[in-house]
């Protein structure tokens, strides 16, 4: 039995002072100093764990970008970027081209990254 088969987050009510992580990050991104620190932390994570962070996420983190920032650069939603990174979404060629341009990589690198998504390879 898997943990996800037993635990369902909806079974546990959020405490009254709960703050969604996306809201916390968005708030910190409005502060220039904190935004810079978050960018540096993302880059450091990418450099520190290259075997764990692969595919599209690796390109994004090397730039120090959040999924939201990449989605804004590409003209799509953050949730779509998240689905691409974990391999739960197919991609149009036009979107692949925008990703390549935004991330400063070739379309071939985007193709390879998307083919390796969700595999850890």
Residues of the chain scoring pLDDT < 50: 118-121
Distance CA 82, CA 57 (A): 9
In terms of C-beta density within 10 A (0-12 exposed, 13-18 middle, 19 or more buried), how is residue 117 classed? buried
Computed over its alpha carbons, how large is the radius of gyration of the chain?
Answer: 16
Domain with residue 94: its CATH number is: 1.10.260.40
- The predicted pLDDT at position 3 comes to 59
Token pair 């999924």: residue: 67
Domain of 101? 21-116
What is the tally of structural domains in the chain?
A: 1
């Amino acid at each position: 039995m898997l943990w996800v088969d037993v635990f369902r987050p909806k079974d546990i009510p959020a405490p009254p002072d709960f703050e969604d992580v996306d809201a916390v990050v968005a708030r910190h991104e409005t502060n220039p100093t904190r935004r810079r620190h978050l960018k540096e932390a993302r880059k450091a994570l990418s450099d520190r764990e290259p075997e764990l962070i692969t595919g599209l996420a690796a390109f994004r983190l090397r730039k120090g970008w959040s999924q939201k920032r990449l989605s804004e650069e590409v003209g799509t939603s953050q949730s779509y970027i998240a689905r691409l990174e974990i391999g739960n979404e197919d991609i149009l060629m036009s979107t692949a081209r925008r990703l390549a341009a935004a991330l400063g990589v070739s379309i071939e690198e985007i193709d390879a990254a998307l083919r390796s998504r969700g595999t850890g390879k």
